[in-house]
Amino acid sequence: MKWEDLRRSNNIEDLRSSTSQSRFSGGGRGNMRMLVPLVQFLLGNKIGRIILLVGVIAYFLGFNPLALLEQSTTPQQVSKPLASEQKTAEFVSVVLAQTEDIWTKLFQEANARYEEPKLVMFRGGVQSGCGYASRQTGPFYCPADKKVYLDLSFFDELKNRYSAGGDFAQAYVIAHEVGHHVQNLLGTLDKSHRAMQMAASKTKANSVQVKVELQADCYAGIWAHYLEGVLEEGDIQEALHAASAIGDDTLQKQAQGYVVPDSFTHGSSEERMRWFSQGYKSGKLEACETGI
């Protein structure tokens, strides 16, 4: 992908220099809520009352026992982002900018306004509008705050664990998550969430989720369709290979040696490649109707 000379997005939030708050954190008020049941417990027995007395004495001597609780919930500074990540971070910014340009144009053609999402780069864990997420969650989109979340280490995993390296494999991942943002703006995510809540079984709910993910793959293909003068030979194959590598059937075979289609949540390798290709070849939203 010819990206070095393209513009960077202004919608990047780089949180890699600090860890997120603990999922249990609530600042000082949260610690006070934690303190009430603790005091009640200590008052209930002799040893507890002694500990409580020591704590009170320590407080008047200038030591705040609550500092012990705050240490477990206050965001801690970590090392600065690795220099080796800087080029990847710039690439992510460029890809996001390209999604902004293309989806803005497509929405304008449909007499609609495209609201650009933020992309949050984090390391280790992050507190999103949809709750706490660790790096194991993988890249995701949160409709509550309209942000894409990405731990750059996922790209190393994509290359080393799934053998799906290449810059356009990474671009596909970002474009897929932005595809979920497009679904959110169009009301598709709300519709799908209602359908999953009303589903008679987990299997039927999963089938709705698969349709959502395949449509996001198709939207990623639409984005690729309009990358004029940017694509290089082999780029689309990198995206297709990545789509195949993270298909549910492929992942299940690797993890447990067999496939359980009823438990699919993202679609098979063949489906993911097919829907990306459909979006790429057509460049039209109508081509991405997965039956949600």
Predicted confidence pLDDT, tens digits, the chain (292 residues) = 999 999 999 999 999 986 544 443 334 334 444 455 555 555 666 665 666 676 656 555 555 555 444 444 444 444 555 666 899 999 999 999 999 999 999 999 999 999 999 999 999 999 999 999 998 999 999 999 999 999 999 999 999 999 999 999 999 999 999 999 999 999 999 999 999 999 999 999 999 999 999 999 999 999 999 998 999 999 999 999 999 999 999 999 999 999 999 999 999 999 999 999 999 999 999 999 999 9
Q: In this structure, how many other beta carbons lie within 10 angstroms of the beta carbon of residue 112?
A: 12
**Pair of tokens at residue 18:** 């600090």
* 5 part of a folded domain: no
Q: What is the 3-state secondary structure (H, E, C) of 242-254?
A: HHHHCCHHHHHHH
Q: Alpha-carbon distance 98 to 199, whole Å?
A: 37
Closest CA to 288 of 202, 176, 200: 176
* 236 part of a folded domain: yes
* 7 part of a folded domain: no
> Kind of pairing, strands 12-14 and 118-122?
parallel
* 167 part of a folded domain: yes
Residues 86 and 120 both lie in one domain: yes
Nearby residues of 69 by Cβ (< 8 Å), 6 or more positions away: 31, 34, 35
User: Residue 157 is inside which H or E element, if any?
Assistant: helix 153-160
Residues 69 and 89 both lie in one domain: no
What's the domain range around 229? 12-16+81-288
Residues 110 and 126 both lie in one domain: yes
Residues 155 and 259 both lie in one domain: yes
* 4 part of a folded domain: no
Maximum alpha-carbon separation in the chain: 77
Closest CA to 210 of 161, 152, 249, 170: 249
Q: Alpha-carbon distance 160 to 207, whole Å?
A: 30
Matching residue, tokens 């992510």: 92
Beta strands in the chain, from DSSP E residues, in sequence order: 12-14, 118-122, 125-128, 131-134, 140-142, 147-151
Residues 8/93, Cβ–Cβ less than 8 Å: yes
Residue 63 DSSP symbol: -
Residues 203 and 93 both lie in one domain: yes
Total domain count for the chain?
Answer: 2
**Pair of tokens at residue 207:** 């089938």
Residues 145/216, Cβ–Cβ less than 8 Å: no
Q: Alpha-carbon distance 242 to 221, whole Å?
A: 13
Q: Write the burial class of residue 287 (CB in 10 Å: 0-12 exposed, 13-18 middle, 19+ buried).
A: middle
Q: Alpha-carbon distance 111 to 283, whole Å?
A: 17
Residues 55 and 148 both lie in one domain: no
* 171 part of a folded domain: yes
Residues 206 and 63 both lie in one domain: no
Q: In this structure, how many other beta carbons lie within 10 angstroms of the beta carbon of residue 206?
A: 19
Q: The whole model's pTM is what?
A: 0.80
Residues 34 and 54 both lie in one domain: yes
**Pair of tokens at residue 49:** 């009352």
> Kind of pairing, strands 131-134 and 125-128?
antiparallel
pLDDT score of 63: 52
Q: Write the burial class of residue 228 (CB in 10 Å: 0-12 exposed, 13-18 middle, 19+ buried).
A: exposed
End-to-end Cα spacing for the chain: 32
Residues 119 and 46 both lie in one domain: no
* 245 part of a folded domain: yes
Residues 194 and 281 both lie in one domain: yes
Residues 52 and 93 both lie in one domain: no
pLDDT score of 65: 55
* 22 part of a folded domain: no
**Pair of tokens at residue 72:** 């477990």
Residues 39 and 149 both lie in one domain: no
